[in-house]
Amino acid sequence: MKVLVPIKRVVDYNVKVRPKSDGSDADLANLKMSINPFCEIAVEEAVRLREKGAVTEIVAVSIGMQQSQEQLRTALALGADRAILISTDLAVEPLAIAKCLKALMDSEKPDIVLLGKQAIDGDNNQTGQMLGAFTGYAQGTFASELTLEDGRAVVKREVDGGLQTVSLELPAIVTSDLRLNEPRYASLPNIMKAKRKPLDTMTPEELGVDVSPRTQLINVRLPAERVAGIIVEDVATLVDKLKNEAKVIS
């Protein structure tokens, strides 16, 4: 069974991002970049499935600039078998990514595509769902548990009301939530071995996909700074302030 794990290069979650001075975008110059945490969880899950014997091959793929190779190497160090970079300097949107993945699936024919539920830069939470629509395959989003049994993927989903379990026919699209697993630390031997694993590069054009942006970024600015709170004396004062000052209850 083959698993395709798409991953995204994003600014590291520890970094405090600020807008550029002209407000045209977030300022990412010289910041530490990492594999998107949800994507890393997806890689880890694929590796665990292989360790259980349910999966035989893990292919990591990223769509973006050349430097995304670094994050693909991370995926290889964590246990992916090979990697594919679909290289473009354009700012790719979920729609373009989903189209590229669909085109890649036509040749790779994975049994499961295991993605992060969203990336921490755009927080779009769209790629998995769009890929489900393009392929017509079953999708189990926000997975907190994934098991493979009798040729089906059983996904426990984190939904608003609690947990929902769905059983999906393969091939299927699964997106990972935070609680699916806790990714391992890549060991030094595996980091060194990752250097020798195959990493192929192709372009969106080769896949016949137009990745030019469909949306335009107008302006990026910091949210208004929060003013300091106060401590009220009793519940009655709190209720009064919520009603008459904040006007959030009536």
Q: Which of residues 150 and 182 has its CB atom nearest to another protein in the complex?
A: 182
Q: How far apart are CA 56 and CA 159, in angstroms?
A: 30
Give 3's strand partners. Answer: 58, 112
Q: Which of residues 187 and 237 has its CB atom nearest to another protein in the complex?
A: 187
**Residues interacting with another protein, by CB under 8 A?**
30, 32, 34, 69-70, 73-74, 77, 185-189, 191-192, 194-195
In the complex, minimum distance from the CB of residue 147 to another protein, in angstroms, rounded to a whole number: 26
Question: What is the CA 56 to chain-centroid distance, rounded?
Answer: 22
**Phi-psi map region of 105: left, alpha, beta (phi>0 left; psi -120 to 50 alpha):** alpha
User: What's the token pair of residue 26?
Assistant: 């977030």
Q: Which of residues 31 and 242 has its CB atom nearest to another protein in the complex?
A: 31
In the complex, minimum distance from the CB of residue 166 to another protein, in angstroms, rounded to a whole number: 32
Q: Which of residues 77 and 211 has its CB atom nearest to another protein in the complex?
A: 77
Q: How far apart are CA 177 and CA 160, in angstroms?
A: 13
In the complex, minimum distance from the CB of residue 200 to another protein, in angstroms, rounded to a whole number: 17
In the complex, minimum distance from the CB of residue 80 to another protein, in angstroms, rounded to a whole number: 14
Q: How far apart are CA 112 and CA 181, in angstroms?
A: 17
In the complex, minimum distance from the CB of residue 188 to another protein, in angstroms, rounded to a whole number: 3
Contact 171, 110 (CB under 8 A): yes
Q: Which of residues 62 and 129 has its CB atom nearest to another protein in the complex?
A: 62
